[in-house]
Amino acid sequence: MFYVFEGFQEVVMLELFLSSLERVAKIQPQITILILVLALLGSDLISFINDFMAVMK
């Protein structure tokens, strides 16, 4: 059962992002570090996650 609350979509997106990042980390740890650095330097984390998820599809 899903409960809809404010921020639910962001939580789901973050969970998907982290699971995708975990898959990448198993293959290429260096890419994972690069992705995390880019996310920290970026001003909009949600935008970064959306872009990352679009590439992973």
Whether 4 is covered by a domain: the verdict is no
Containing structural domain, residue 51 = 16-56
Annotate 20-55 with b (16+ C-beta within 10 A) or e (fewer).
bbeeeeeeeeeebeebeeeeeeeeeeeebbeebeee
Whether 46 is covered by a domain: the verdict is yes
SS (H, E, C) 22-52: HHHHHHCHHHHHHHHHHHHHCCCHHHHHHHH
Whether 47 is covered by a domain: the verdict is yes
Whether 7 is covered by a domain: the verdict is no
Whether 28 is covered by a domain: the verdict is yes
Whether 51 is covered by a domain: the verdict is yes
Whether 39 is covered by a domain: the verdict is yes
> What Å distances lie between residue 20 and 1, 3, 43, 44, CA to CA?
24, 24, 21, 19
Number of structural domains (the chain) is 1
Whether 24 is covered by a domain: the verdict is yes
- pTM, entire model: 0.45
pLDDT digits 0-9 by tens, 7-54: 667 777 778 888 887 887 787 878 777 777 777 776 667 777 778 888
